[in-house]
Amino acid sequence: MGRVFSGFRPTGKQHIGNYLGVIQNCVSLQDEYDCIYCVVDIHALTTLDSTDALNEDIHEMVLDWLAAGIDPKKCILFVQSHVPKVMELYTLFGMVTPLSWLLRVPTFKEKVKMQPHNVNYGLVGYPILMAADITLYKGEIVPVGGDQLPHLELTREIVRRFNSIYGDVFPEPQAKLASFPSVLGLDGVQKMSKSCNNYIEISAPPEEILRRVMTAVTDPGRKYRSDPGRPEVCNVYNLHKYFTSSRAEEIAAECRAADIGCVDCKRMLAQSISSGLESFRGKRATLVSKPDYVADVIADGARRAEAIAKETMKEVREHMKLL
Protein backbone atom coordinates (compact mmCIF):
# COMPACT_ATOMS: atom_id res chain seq x y z
CA MET A 1 0.00 0.00 0.00
CA GLY A 2 1.38 3.42 -0.93
CA ARG A 3 0.86 6.32 1.42
CA VAL A 4 -1.77 8.86 0.40
CA PHE A 5 -1.74 12.34 1.89
CA SER A 6 -4.61 14.78 1.47
CA GLY A 7 -5.31 18.08 3.19
CA PHE A 8 -8.66 19.87 3.46
CA ARG A 9 -9.50 23.33 4.66
CA PRO A 10 -11.87 23.44 7.62
CA THR A 11 -15.12 24.54 6.01
CA GLY A 12 -17.63 23.51 8.67
CA LYS A 13 -20.66 21.44 7.76
CA GLN A 14 -20.12 19.80 4.39
CA HIS A 15 -22.40 20.18 1.38
CA ILE A 16 -23.37 17.66 -1.24
CA GLY A 17 -20.70 18.98 -3.63
CA ASN A 18 -18.03 18.05 -1.03
CA TYR A 19 -19.75 14.74 -0.42
CA LEU A 20 -20.04 13.60 -4.05
CA GLY A 21 -16.51 14.71 -4.84
CA VAL A 22 -13.75 14.66 -2.28
CA ILE A 23 -15.39 12.79 0.62
CA GLN A 24 -16.54 9.77 -1.36
CA ASN A 25 -13.14 9.59 -3.05
CA CYS A 26 -11.37 9.61 0.34
CA VAL A 27 -13.70 6.92 1.69
CA SER A 28 -12.86 4.59 -1.20
CA LEU A 29 -9.10 5.31 -1.05
CA GLN A 30 -8.81 4.22 2.59
CA ASP A 31 -9.44 0.61 1.54
CA GLU A 32 -6.62 0.65 -1.03
CA TYR A 33 -3.95 2.86 0.53
CA ASP A 34 -2.33 3.89 3.79
CA CYS A 35 -4.21 7.20 4.01
CA ILE A 36 -3.43 10.31 6.03
CA TYR A 37 -6.14 12.96 5.99
CA CYS A 38 -5.39 16.35 7.47
CA VAL A 39 -7.60 19.32 8.29
CA VAL A 40 -5.31 22.17 7.30
CA ASP A 41 -6.19 24.86 9.81
CA ILE A 42 -2.88 26.73 9.41
CA HIS A 43 -3.51 27.11 5.68
CA ALA A 44 -6.91 28.55 6.54
CA LEU A 45 -5.23 31.38 8.47
CA THR A 46 -3.95 32.84 5.19
CA THR A 47 -7.47 33.90 4.24
CA LEU A 48 -9.46 34.07 7.48
CA ASP A 49 -10.26 37.46 9.00
CA SER A 50 -11.14 35.84 12.33
CA THR A 51 -10.60 32.47 13.99
CA ASP A 52 -13.74 32.70 16.14
CA ALA A 53 -15.50 29.92 14.19
CA LEU A 54 -12.40 27.84 13.42
CA ASN A 55 -12.75 25.17 16.13
CA GLU A 56 -16.46 24.77 15.49
CA ASP A 57 -15.80 24.44 11.74
CA ILE A 58 -13.18 21.75 12.33
CA HIS A 59 -15.52 19.87 14.65
CA GLU A 60 -18.50 19.95 12.27
CA MET A 61 -16.38 18.99 9.29
CA VAL A 62 -14.77 16.03 11.06
CA LEU A 63 -18.21 14.89 12.27
CA ASP A 64 -19.46 14.89 8.68
CA TRP A 65 -16.41 13.04 7.42
CA LEU A 66 -16.67 10.35 10.09
CA ALA A 67 -20.40 9.91 9.52
CA ALA A 68 -19.78 9.71 5.76
CA GLY A 69 -17.46 6.73 6.20
CA ILE A 70 -13.98 7.99 6.99
CA ASP A 71 -12.80 5.32 9.38
CA PRO A 72 -10.05 6.24 11.88
CA LYS A 73 -9.16 2.55 12.13
CA LYS A 74 -8.26 2.55 8.44
CA CYS A 75 -6.61 5.98 8.17
CA ILE A 76 -5.07 8.79 10.19
CA LEU A 77 -7.36 11.80 10.52
CA PHE A 78 -5.86 14.79 12.31
CA VAL A 79 -5.59 18.56 12.43
CA GLN A 80 -2.51 20.20 10.90
CA SER A 81 -1.63 22.49 13.82
CA HIS A 82 -1.78 19.60 16.30
CA VAL A 83 1.57 18.38 14.91
CA PRO A 84 3.73 21.55 15.09
CA LYS A 85 6.71 19.81 13.43
CA VAL A 86 5.15 20.82 10.13
CA MET A 87 6.14 24.43 10.91
CA GLU A 88 9.76 23.36 11.39
CA LEU A 89 9.88 21.61 8.03
CA TYR A 90 8.07 24.58 6.44
CA THR A 91 10.84 26.88 7.68
CA LEU A 92 13.60 24.57 6.46
CA PHE A 93 11.98 24.14 3.04
CA GLY A 94 11.81 27.92 2.85
CA MET A 95 15.62 27.91 2.70
CA VAL A 96 15.75 25.78 -0.45
CA THR A 97 12.84 27.34 -2.33
CA PRO A 98 13.62 30.28 -4.63
CA LEU A 99 11.21 33.15 -4.17
CA SER A 100 10.66 33.28 -7.95
CA TRP A 101 9.03 29.82 -7.83
CA LEU A 102 6.46 31.12 -5.36
CA LEU A 103 5.73 34.43 -7.02
CA ARG A 104 4.81 32.72 -10.29
CA VAL A 105 2.07 30.58 -8.71
CA PRO A 106 -1.25 31.65 -10.31
CA THR A 107 -3.29 31.14 -7.11
CA PHE A 108 -1.01 33.58 -5.26
CA LYS A 109 -1.78 36.23 -7.88
CA GLU A 110 -5.50 35.44 -7.63
CA LYS A 111 -5.43 35.71 -3.83
CA VAL A 112 -3.67 39.08 -4.03
CA LYS A 113 -6.55 40.31 -6.18
CA MET A 114 -9.19 38.75 -3.94
CA GLN A 115 -7.86 40.11 -0.64
CA PRO A 116 -5.73 43.18 -1.36
CA HIS A 117 -6.28 44.26 2.27
CA ASN A 118 -4.51 41.12 3.52
CA VAL A 119 -1.57 40.08 1.32
CA ASN A 120 0.20 38.21 4.09
CA TYR A 121 3.48 36.28 3.92
CA GLY A 122 1.55 33.03 4.41
CA LEU A 123 -0.10 33.48 1.01
CA VAL A 124 3.20 33.42 -0.84
CA GLY A 125 4.58 30.64 1.38
CA TYR A 126 1.45 28.50 0.95
CA PRO A 127 3.07 26.03 -1.52
CA ILE A 128 5.99 25.48 0.86
CA LEU A 129 3.62 24.64 3.70
CA MET A 130 1.77 22.29 1.36
CA ALA A 131 5.08 20.59 0.47
CA ALA A 132 5.87 20.28 4.20
CA ASP A 133 2.42 18.77 4.86
CA ILE A 134 2.88 16.04 2.29
CA THR A 135 6.54 15.23 2.88
CA LEU A 136 6.53 15.33 6.70
CA TYR A 137 4.47 12.14 6.50
CA LYS A 138 6.40 10.77 3.49
CA GLY A 139 3.28 11.05 1.34
CA GLU A 140 3.79 9.22 -1.95
CA ILE A 141 0.43 9.75 -3.58
CA VAL A 142 -1.68 12.90 -3.58
CA PRO A 143 -5.21 12.81 -4.97
CA VAL A 144 -5.72 15.98 -7.00
CA GLY A 145 -8.09 17.46 -9.52
CA GLY A 146 -6.49 18.60 -12.81
CA ASP A 147 -6.43 22.25 -11.64
CA GLN A 148 -4.23 21.34 -8.65
CA LEU A 149 -1.49 19.65 -10.68
CA PRO A 150 0.74 22.78 -10.81
CA HIS A 151 0.73 22.94 -6.98
CA LEU A 152 1.84 19.38 -6.68
CA GLU A 153 4.53 19.96 -9.29
CA LEU A 154 5.93 22.73 -7.09
CA THR A 155 6.05 20.29 -4.15
CA ARG A 156 7.96 17.88 -6.37
CA GLU A 157 10.39 20.64 -7.35
CA ILE A 158 11.00 21.52 -3.68
CA VAL A 159 11.57 17.84 -2.87
CA ARG A 160 14.00 17.44 -5.78
CA ARG A 161 15.92 20.52 -4.71
CA PHE A 162 16.07 19.46 -1.07
CA ASN A 163 17.18 15.93 -1.97
CA SER A 164 19.82 17.23 -4.40
CA ILE A 165 21.35 19.49 -1.71
CA TYR A 166 21.01 17.31 1.39
CA GLY A 167 20.63 13.77 0.06
CA ASP A 168 17.61 11.58 -0.51
CA VAL A 169 15.18 12.04 2.32
CA PHE A 170 11.81 12.44 0.65
CA PRO A 171 9.97 10.48 -2.01
CA GLU A 172 8.70 12.63 -4.88
CA PRO A 173 4.95 12.54 -4.41
CA GLN A 174 2.94 11.41 -7.39
CA ALA A 175 -0.41 12.82 -8.42
CA LYS A 176 -3.39 10.53 -8.41
CA LEU A 177 -5.73 12.29 -10.79
CA ALA A 178 -9.23 12.11 -9.48
CA SER A 179 -12.17 13.01 -11.70
CA PHE A 180 -14.16 14.77 -8.99
CA PRO A 181 -17.64 15.47 -10.34
CA SER A 182 -18.08 19.20 -10.63
CA VAL A 183 -21.36 19.65 -8.80
CA LEU A 184 -23.10 22.88 -9.68
CA GLY A 185 -24.89 24.78 -6.97
CA LEU A 186 -28.59 25.52 -6.78
CA ASP A 187 -28.08 28.56 -9.02
CA GLY A 188 -27.08 26.15 -11.80
CA VAL A 189 -24.16 28.44 -12.69
CA GLN A 190 -21.41 28.32 -10.06
CA LYS A 191 -19.80 25.30 -8.47
CA MET A 192 -21.62 24.40 -5.25
CA SER A 193 -19.98 26.32 -2.43
CA LYS A 194 -20.71 28.02 0.85
CA SER A 195 -19.39 31.35 -0.42
CA CYS A 196 -21.96 31.35 -3.25
CA ASN A 197 -24.77 30.30 -0.88
CA ASN A 198 -25.96 27.76 -3.45
CA TYR A 199 -25.45 24.61 -1.38
CA ILE A 200 -27.32 21.89 0.47
CA GLU A 201 -25.64 20.64 3.64
CA ILE A 202 -25.45 16.87 3.89
CA SER A 203 -26.55 17.03 7.51
CA ALA A 204 -29.62 19.14 6.69
CA PRO A 205 -32.95 17.64 7.84
CA PRO A 206 -35.42 16.59 5.08
CA GLU A 207 -37.53 19.76 5.41
CA GLU A 208 -34.45 21.94 4.94
CA ILE A 209 -33.34 19.86 1.95
CA LEU A 210 -36.81 20.38 0.41
CA ARG A 211 -36.69 24.12 1.12
CA ARG A 212 -33.27 24.46 -0.53
CA VAL A 213 -34.11 22.27 -3.53
CA MET A 214 -37.26 24.32 -4.21
CA THR A 215 -35.02 27.36 -4.78
CA ALA A 216 -32.99 25.57 -7.49
CA VAL A 217 -32.83 27.10 -10.95
CA THR A 218 -34.19 24.75 -13.65
CA ASP A 219 -34.27 24.93 -17.47
CA PRO A 220 -34.61 28.71 -18.02
CA GLY A 221 -36.39 28.04 -21.34
CA ARG A 222 -39.30 26.22 -19.65
CA LYS A 223 -41.73 28.99 -18.73
CA TYR A 224 -45.00 27.03 -18.46
CA ARG A 225 -45.82 23.59 -17.15
CA SER A 226 -46.89 22.56 -20.68
CA ASP A 227 -43.51 23.55 -22.21
CA PRO A 228 -41.20 20.60 -22.96
CA GLY A 229 -38.10 20.83 -20.76
CA ARG A 230 -34.43 20.26 -21.52
CA PRO A 231 -32.96 18.09 -18.78
CA GLU A 232 -29.49 18.43 -20.27
CA VAL A 233 -29.39 22.13 -19.28
CA CYS A 234 -31.14 21.66 -15.93
CA ASN A 235 -29.13 21.30 -12.75
CA VAL A 236 -32.03 19.64 -10.92
CA TYR A 237 -31.73 16.86 -13.47
CA ASN A 238 -27.98 16.78 -12.99
CA LEU A 239 -28.54 16.15 -9.27
CA HIS A 240 -31.12 13.46 -10.07
CA LYS A 241 -28.32 11.61 -11.89
CA TYR A 242 -26.50 11.26 -8.55
CA PHE A 243 -29.42 10.75 -6.21
CA THR A 244 -32.15 9.18 -8.39
CA SER A 245 -29.84 7.35 -10.77
CA SER A 246 -32.15 4.37 -11.32
CA ARG A 247 -34.92 6.66 -12.63
CA ALA A 248 -32.80 9.34 -14.32
CA GLU A 249 -33.59 8.33 -17.90
CA GLU A 250 -37.30 8.13 -17.13
CA ILE A 251 -37.23 11.59 -15.55
CA ALA A 252 -35.45 12.99 -18.62
CA ALA A 253 -38.12 11.52 -20.91
CA GLU A 254 -40.96 12.85 -18.73
CA CYS A 255 -39.34 16.28 -18.70
CA ARG A 256 -38.93 16.37 -22.49
CA ALA A 257 -42.56 15.31 -22.95
CA ALA A 258 -43.77 17.85 -20.34
CA ASP A 259 -45.27 14.92 -18.41
CA ILE A 260 -43.72 16.21 -15.22
CA GLY A 261 -43.63 19.75 -13.83
CA CYS A 262 -40.55 21.31 -12.26
CA VAL A 263 -42.18 21.55 -8.82
CA ASP A 264 -42.92 17.80 -8.73
CA CYS A 265 -39.49 17.07 -10.17
CA LYS A 266 -37.84 19.08 -7.39
CA ARG A 267 -39.98 17.40 -4.72
CA MET A 268 -38.81 14.05 -6.07
CA LEU A 269 -35.18 15.20 -5.97
CA ALA A 270 -35.51 16.44 -2.39
CA GLN A 271 -36.98 13.07 -1.43
CA SER A 272 -34.12 11.21 -3.17
CA ILE A 273 -31.45 13.35 -1.49
CA SER A 274 -33.14 12.89 1.91
CA SER A 275 -33.34 9.11 1.57
CA GLY A 276 -29.85 8.88 0.04
CA LEU A 277 -28.44 10.64 3.11
CA GLU A 278 -30.66 8.97 5.70
CA SER A 279 -28.07 6.51 6.97
CA PHE A 280 -25.48 9.33 7.02
CA ARG A 281 -27.80 11.43 9.21
CA GLY A 282 -28.39 8.46 11.53
CA LYS A 283 -24.68 7.85 11.92
CA ARG A 284 -24.03 11.54 12.50
CA ALA A 285 -26.70 11.70 15.20
CA THR A 286 -25.05 8.75 16.94
CA LEU A 287 -21.66 10.50 16.82
CA VAL A 288 -23.18 13.73 18.13
CA SER A 289 -24.49 11.80 21.13
CA LYS A 290 -20.88 10.96 22.09
CA PRO A 291 -19.56 14.45 22.88
CA ASP A 292 -15.88 13.47 23.18
CA TYR A 293 -15.74 11.23 20.15
CA VAL A 294 -14.47 13.76 17.59
CA ALA A 295 -11.88 15.15 20.03
CA ASP A 296 -10.67 11.61 20.78
CA VAL A 297 -10.38 10.74 17.07
CA ILE A 298 -8.35 13.80 16.21
CA ALA A 299 -6.16 13.46 19.33
CA ASP A 300 -5.38 9.87 18.39
CA GLY A 301 -4.76 10.96 14.78
CA ALA A 302 -2.32 13.62 16.00
CA ARG A 303 -0.45 11.06 18.13
CA ARG A 304 -0.04 8.72 15.17
CA ALA A 305 0.89 11.54 12.78
CA GLU A 306 3.38 12.95 15.31
CA ALA A 307 5.18 9.60 15.51
CA ILE A 308 5.78 9.65 11.74
CA ALA A 309 6.71 13.35 11.80
CA LYS A 310 9.27 12.77 14.56
CA GLU A 311 11.09 10.14 12.50
CA THR A 312 11.08 12.34 9.41
CA MET A 313 12.46 15.38 11.24
CA LYS A 314 15.20 13.28 12.82
CA GLU A 315 16.26 12.24 9.33
CA VAL A 316 15.98 15.81 8.00
CA ARG A 317 18.13 17.23 10.79
CA GLU A 318 20.76 14.52 10.29
CA HIS A 319 20.93 15.21 6.56
CA MET A 320 21.08 18.98 7.13
CA LYS A 321 23.69 18.57 9.88
CA LEU A 322 21.40 20.40 12.32
CA LEU A 323 22.44 18.21 15.20
Name the minimum Å distance from CB 258 to ligand SF4: 8
Interface residue with ligand SF4 among 29, 255, 298, 305 (CB under 6 A) is 255
111 counts as binding ligand SF4 under rule CB under 6 A: no
Stretch that binds ligand SF4, among 119-127, 138-146, 260-268, 289-297 (CB under 6 A): 260-268
Please check whether residue 118 is in contact with residue 102, taking contact to mean a CB–CB distance below 8 angstroms.
no
236 counts as binding ligand SF4 under rule CB under 6 A: yes
Interface residue with ligand SF4 among 37, 137, 237, 243 (CB under 6 A) is 237
> Left if phi > 0, otherwise alpha if psi is -120 to 50, otherwise beta: which for 41?
alpha
Q: Using alpha carbons only, how large is the chain's radius of gyration in Å?
A: 22
Smaller CB separation from ligand SF4, 132 or 236? 236
Smaller CB separation from ligand SF4, 8 or 237? 237
DSSP code for 17: H
Stretch that binds ligand SF4, among 77-85, 172-180, 206-214, 217-225 (CB under 6 A): 217-225
Give the strand pairing for 75-79 and 174-177: unpaired
Name the minimum Å distance from CB 151 to ligand SF4: 36
Report the site for ligand SF4 in 79-98 (rule: CB under 6 A).
Answer: none
234 counts as binding ligand SF4 under rule CB under 6 A: yes
35 counts as binding ligand SF4 under rule CB under 6 A: no
In 3-state terms the chain splits into helix, strand, coil percentages (rounded to 5) of 55, 10, 35
Burial 199-222 (b: 16+ CB within 10 A, else e): bbbbbbeeeebbebbeebbbbeeb
Report how far residue 241's alpha carbon sits from residue 219's, in angstroms, rounded to the nearest whole number. 16
Compute how many other C-beta atoms are within 10 angstroms of the C-beta atom of residue 179.
9
Q: Which residues bind ligand SF4 (CB under 6 A)?
A: 218-219, 222, 229, 231, 234, 236-237, 255, 260, 262, 265-266
